[in-house]
Amino acid sequence: MKKTAPKKSAPTLKFDTNWKYDPAPESADHVVIDKQYGLFINGKMQAPVKGKYFNTINPARETVLASVADATSEDVDKAVTAARNAHSKVWSKMKPAERGKYIYRIARIMQERARELAIIESLDGGKPIRESRDIDVPLAAAHFFYYAGWADKLNYALPGKQVTSLGVAGQIIPWNFPLLMAAWKIAPALAAGNTVVLKPAETTPLTALKLAEIIRDADLPPGVVNIITGAGATGSALVNHPGIDKVAFTGSTDVGKIIQKALAGTDKKYTLELGGKAANIIFEDAAIDQAVEGIINGIFFNQGHVCCAGSRLFIQESVAATVIRKLKDRMETLIVGDPLDKNTDIGAINSKPQLDKIKALVKAGVAQGGSMHQSSCAIPSKGFWFRPTIFTGVAQSSRIVQEEIFGPVLAIQTFRTVEEVIEKANNTPFGLSGGVWSDKGSKVFKVSSKLRAGVVWANTYNKFDPTSPFGGYKESGMGREGGMHGLYPYVQVKD
């Protein structure tokens, strides 16, 4: 009788060695951050009407970076009035090709000041400098370049139609990608002939204020872009202002619902890009090592502060043990620490309230029977930090499966058949994004077409391009940003 050789166990990787990276900090000496910032209205910085300011801090060190104006309804009214005047007297009457030149000029100056913008983004938001430098800033500039080209070609986007601008756009952006989201909002609005009042998130206003300096240096006509800072009350005043023709919001689903109710019964157009709980699906025929990198990128990119993060992982049962083992090994190599260190993989959590939310949901995941694993990495004693975390053995009804955590926390489930994983993946109130990993193109197309998600990546994750539209279904919002589709919400169309 022929004996079968015993299966060899996978080699154990050792991480407790003396081999370490030397610090590689990015110098911030050349970066100028003013002690106090006003509101950018009508082409210049102005003090807020009521003289109120708030601090924006470095989440990695809990130190104050700057004092920023807290705009009230009076300030919002000044900004909207400036935008209305600029639209009716200058911007809407300017030749589209000339508008395109201004937008192009903004993109060029952003490129020239890319290093400064990347450092400020990491200081104010906590994200690793590698991500700010290599993704956020270049992609933001690329959006301005892209829409500069559309400024005089709107009739090609909508052939046979008469296309005109809407007027004044009120735009509210989140704290996870401040500069990139500002570009997503401002560039198509300007290309379509609109003027803008933009409100960045209160925890990350600095790159938007630096963008205001760039807009000023580009000699954009006063009032075409206005940037005001503040918290929820400022955003509410902007949404409800009667002089706003279009509202664009990126943020939480809860706030999106409030905005939708506020706009009901008005003639304001709106786009909402809200939360997500994306399914990242790994089939047994996938390239496993490549898929593991995709999992890491999908959930730990930007500390998990990504609306389209692959926060639900579905692995086919036959390869689940292998994928989870490789994933745990890869997690041990991740460096959590100083966002300005070029070795850092995961930076600081954006704020203490967000850290508290992550901790609460992780605690709920354990209480509901999930098995938690965290990397053994050291984290700094000061600042807001959270180790890379995965959960196995979680139920479909678990809070960490159903709720958006917005942090470096991954919920893992297994499946056997294509039909099963499609049903599980769609069992969520969200519908923003997803990922499919398989060697079979037919399987990728079948699963992708069945997922109720606005964006589905195949054998990759978190790939963005200004030519490609982005947006979701269900509670993930409505409307699209990016690509030619990103122009549609900013124009009026007549036959």
- Cβ neighbors of 487 (< 8 A, separation 6 or more) are 147, 150, 154, 157, 188, 191, 192
* Residue 475 CB contacts under 8 Å (≥ 6 apart), including other chains: 253, 274, 275, 429, 430, 431
d(CA 440, CA 283): 10
Which H helix or E strand runs over 325? helix 317-332
- Residue holding tokens 């975390």? 389
Burial of 95 (0-12, 13-18, 19+ CB in 10 A): exposed
Of 404, 405, 464, nearest in space to 181 by CA: 464
Pairing of strands 63-69, 162-165: unpaired
116, 121, 307, 377: the active-site residue: 307
Helix (H, G, I), strand (E, B) or coil at 49: coil
- The answer to whether residues 132 and 142 touch, using CB atoms and an 8 Å cutoff, is no
- DSSP for 424-438 reads HHH-SSEESEEEEE-
C-beta atoms surrounding 349 within 10 Å: 26
Cα of first residue to Cα of last residue in the chain, in angstroms, is: 83
Whole-angstrom distance, CA of residue 256 vs CA of residue 476:
9
Contact 205, 179 (CB under 8 A): no
Q: Which residues contact 227 (CB under 8 A, 6 or more apart)?
A: 39, 40, 197, 198, 199, 200, 208, 209, 211, 212
Distance between CA atoms of 231 and 284, rounded to whole angstroms?
47
Strand partners, 313: 280, 412
* Dihedral sign, Cα of residue 287, residue 291, residue 292, residue 294: positive
Bridge partners, 35 (sequence order): none
The DSSP call for residue 336 is B
Classified as helix, coil or strand, 183 is helix
Active site residue 403: no
**Residue 273: active-site member:** yes
With beta carbons less than 8 A apart as the criterion, state whether 314 and 277 touch: no
Point out the catalytic residue in the list 26, 121, 273, 403.
273
**Token duo for residue 365:** 């995941």
The maximal CA–CA distance of the chain, rounded, in angstroms, is 93
Phi first, then psi, for residue 197 (nearest 5°) are: -120, 115
Three-state secondary-structure class, residue 434: strand
Active site residue ranges: 273, 307
